[in-house]
Amino acid sequence: MTMLHVQPETSGLSPRSARPQRPARMEPLAVLPVFLPLTGRKAVLAGGGEPAAWKAELLLAAGGELHLFTDNPCEDLAALLADPALSPRIHHAFRRWQPEDLTGAALAIADAEDDEDAAAFFAAARAAGVPVNVIDRPAFCQFQFGGIVNRSPLVVGISTDGAAPVLGQTVRQKIETLLPPGLSRWAQLAARIRAAVSERLESVALRRRFWRQFSEAAFARGAPKVEEDFGALIDHLAEEVPASGEVVLVGAGPGDAAHLTLGAMRALQSADVILFDDLVSAEVLELARREAKRMLVGKRGGRESCAQEDINDMMVSLARQGRKVVRLKSGDPMVFGRAGEEIARLEAEGIPVSVVPGITAASAMAARLKVSLTHRDHAQSLRLMTAHSRHGGLPDTLDLSGRATSASTTVFYMGRRMADSLRQRLLSEGVSPDLPVVAHGSVSRPEEKIWTGRLADLTSTAMAAFGDAPVLIGIGQVFAAAKVGEEAGLPVVAAQVQARKVRA
């Protein structure tokens, strides 16, 4: 029986109306991450318990002048007070705080005994115009302390807005393992040589190029070498003719940001301009460098979009301005992505171009269905084919003979509108009408849908349930073992209801 398996939809959109959502300049933030310089500034701390001791250490580490008010400091606070390196910056009063103590403070923190004490401190701080935090009492906090990864002057702050503290701790641990301990020394070195870099390298493009090399070295080496080495690098770059920009063709994968490669992430984080296709998901774009300009160049079958030559012209123009351009394509750039035309144009213009491969939709479909596309019992070859020629119809040059098709797995890209043509052509070439077929729409996305059946059932009526979603059509014996229904997290009950609607 032919069945359409439908994943639960999100955001109240029907299958026909669902569209990839374009991201705002920035997605909503629960809190604003702000980094506050405290060196030489007054920081008030009221209370003497262990929570206050941790905040005292934090304020002192940030260079603050600590004004401590407590008549009963705990052991850890007493140790800070006795430390000769810290004691000159600690002003300790053996008494309870008073409202006038908050005057001129950069911030105020309290380890309150009860809600009454917390409310009084909160009110006094607000009256003095001082940002206030009462430890472990969110109702009396104007700001929060998050997790910290310290590679000072590189500091990473982590917050879950109080929703999941343990998750925040886990994230901090993960980041700790990713950032080399020596990164602190690289950041310190950057501060010392920044003026020299700006003086010697007048071109913005050259300065950006230098700092990219510098940053790559920070992760590739354990510790920075002597400053003279970087002086030589500055001299070398200063003597060069100002370089043009470059273009990187990047595969964004089928949609789910989890399918991005590490190379794609690095390219997105270093881009000046991102030219992205309509099928690139909002989740992927959200991972790009914030300062990068994003331009939709919308290549999508059946819709109004930029002409390929216009896209080529845009890449050339932007690169000649010295910018790093990322041409972000859904799936893999080298699989039906027209990358060959773009590479040829860029090379003809003398513009450096490189490629970061991505996970193509056929691979993502196979993973989702738990199907080996090259199972040795069913397929001696794997064929990735386009269902569209330059003129919009099924290409006449495709080898769809029964002999070739029965011994292989064939995946057609952009096949939804060609369903009838594909069925008729394959049947006319002697392909069995019982050959298993899978149609997979919006692969790896929340709105994905899967149709399974036989070649004889592959019709435009069946494909209508996908709306205008991008659809892959897989044909071959390997799809007889496709994991659908509850095994794949796709509800069979909803699928049966939808299938009846299609057949009706």
pLDDT in tens, the chain (504 residues): 334 443 433 333 333 333 334 444 567 888 898 899 999 999 999 999 999 999 999 999 999 999 999 999 999 999 999 999 999 999 999 999 999 999 999 999 999 999 999 999 999 999 999 999 999 999 999 999 989 999 999 999 999 988 888 999 999 998 888 888 888 988 988 888 888 888 888 777 778 778 877 887 787 666 776 665 667 767 765 665 455 689 999 999 999 999 999 889 888 988 999 999 989 998 999 889 888 899 999 755 555 568 899 999 999 999 998 889 999 999 999 999 889 999 999 999 999 999 999 999 999 999 988 899 999 888 889 999 888 766 667 777 787 887 777 888 999 998 888 889 889 989 998 999 999 999 999 998 888 888 888 999 999 888 888 888 889 999 999 998 876 655 555 423 233 334 333 333
Nearest residue to 183 via CA among 214, 206, 158, 159: 214
| Amino acid at the residue 375 | H
230 and 305 belong to one structural domain: no
**Nearest-angstrom CA–CA distance, 64 and 41:** 5
Which run of H or E residues covers position 158? Answer: strand 154-158
Helical packing angle, 227-239 and 183-200, nearest 10°: 40
Residues 228 and 286 occupy one common structural domain: no
- 317 and 346 co-located in one domain: yes
Looking up residue 258, the CATH number of its domain turns out to be 3.40.1010.10
Task: Give the residue from 398, 348, 413, 408 showing the smallest Cα distance to 378.
Answer: 408
pLDDT at 211: 84
Dig out the tokens for 288 from the structure: 């790009």
Instruction: Report the C-alpha gap between 394 and 416 in whole angstroms.
Output: 11
Among 240, 269, 287, where does a domain finish?
Answer: 240
Which of 42, 51, 86 is closest to 70 using CA atoms? 51
Query: Which pLDDT belongs to residue 228?
Result: 58
On whether both 68 and 107 belong to a single domain, the answer is: yes
As a whole number of angstroms, the distance between CA 67 and CA 89 comes to: 8
Cα–Cα distance measured from residue 414 to residue 58, given in angstroms and rounded to the nearest whole number: 57
Domain shared by 449 and 463, yes or no: yes
DSSP run (H or E) holding 66 = strand 65-69
On whether both 430 and 347 belong to a single domain, the answer is no
pLDDT of 110 reads 97
| Per-residue pLDDT at 2 | 39
Q: Which residue type is seen at 221?
A: R
**Domain's final residue, options 359, 374, 397:** 359
Has residue 395 been placed in a domain? yes
User: Smallest Cα–Cα separation from 394: which of 458, 464, 307?
Assistant: 458
Residues 281 and 349 in one domain: yes
How many beta carbons lie within 10 A of that of residue 212, not counting itself?
A: 12
168 within a domain of the structure (yes/no) = no
Domain edge (last residue) among 222, 240, 258: 240
Alpha-carbon distance of 6 to 14, in angstroms, equals 11
Rounded CA separation 428/425 (Å): 5
Structure tokens at 316: 């050339």
Distance from C-alpha of 341 to C-alpha of 358, rounded to nearest angstrom = 18
Residues 89 and 40: their CA atoms lie apart, in Å, by 9
- Residue 44: per-residue pLDDT: 98
Contact 333, 357 (CB under 8 A): yes
**Residue 233: inside a domain:** yes
Domain extent, residue 226, equals 182-240
Please tell me whether residues 214 and 141 are part of one structural domain: no
| Residue 282 tokens, joined | 């909002």
pLDDT of residue 17: 32
Give the catalytic positions in this structure. Answer: 277, 299
Question: Could you tell me the CA-to-CA distances from 341 to 152, 165, 336 in Å, in that order?
Answer: 46, 50, 11
Cα Rg of the chain (Å, integer): 30
Query: What is the rounded CA–CA span in Å between residue 217 and residue 311?
Result: 33
Residues 377 and 473 in one domain: yes
Q: Is residue 157 part of a domain?
A: no
**Residue that has been written with the tokens 């690139």 in this structure:** 280
Do residue 368 and residue 478 come from a single domain? yes
Classify 92 as helix, strand or coil. strand
pLDDT of residue 244: 67
Q: Please choose, from the candidates 326, 355, 360, the residue with its C-alpha nearest in 3D space to the C-alpha of residue 253.
A: 360
| Paired tokens of 336 | 């039906």
Q: Who contacts 237 (Cβ-Cβ below 8 Å, separation ≥6)?
A: 200, 201, 206, 209, 210
Q: How far apart are CA 209 and CA 237, in angstroms?
A: 9
Tell whether 354 and 370 lie within a shared domain.
Answer: no
CATH number of the domain encompassing residue 481: 3.30.950.10
Classify residue 24: in a domain, yes or no.
Answer: no
Residue 498 inside a domain? The answer is no
Same-domain status, 379 and 475 = yes
Cα–Cα distance measured from residue 65 to residue 261, given in angstroms and rounded to the nearest whole number: 46
The pLDDT of residue 269 is 86
How far is residue 444's CA from residue 255's CA, in Å, rounded to a whole number?
6
Where does 183-303 show beta strands of DSSP type E?
246-251, 273-276, 293-296
Exposure string over 448-459, b if 16+ CB within 10 A, otherwise e: bbbbbbebebbe
pLDDT at 303: 53
* Domain CATH code at residue 133: 3.40.50.720
* 492 token code pair: 């069979």
Is residue 234 included in any domain, yes or no? yes
Tokens of 240: 């060069």
Mean per-residue pLDDT of the chain: 84
Domain count of the fold of the chain: 4
Q: Does residue 232 lie within any of the structural domains?
A: yes
* φ/ψ of residue 269, rounded to 5: -80, -15
> What is the rounded CA–CA span in Å between residue 265 and residue 268?
5
* Distance of alpha carbon 118 from alpha carbon 110, whole angstroms: 7
Tokens of 41: 């500034």
Report the amino acid identity of residue 10: T
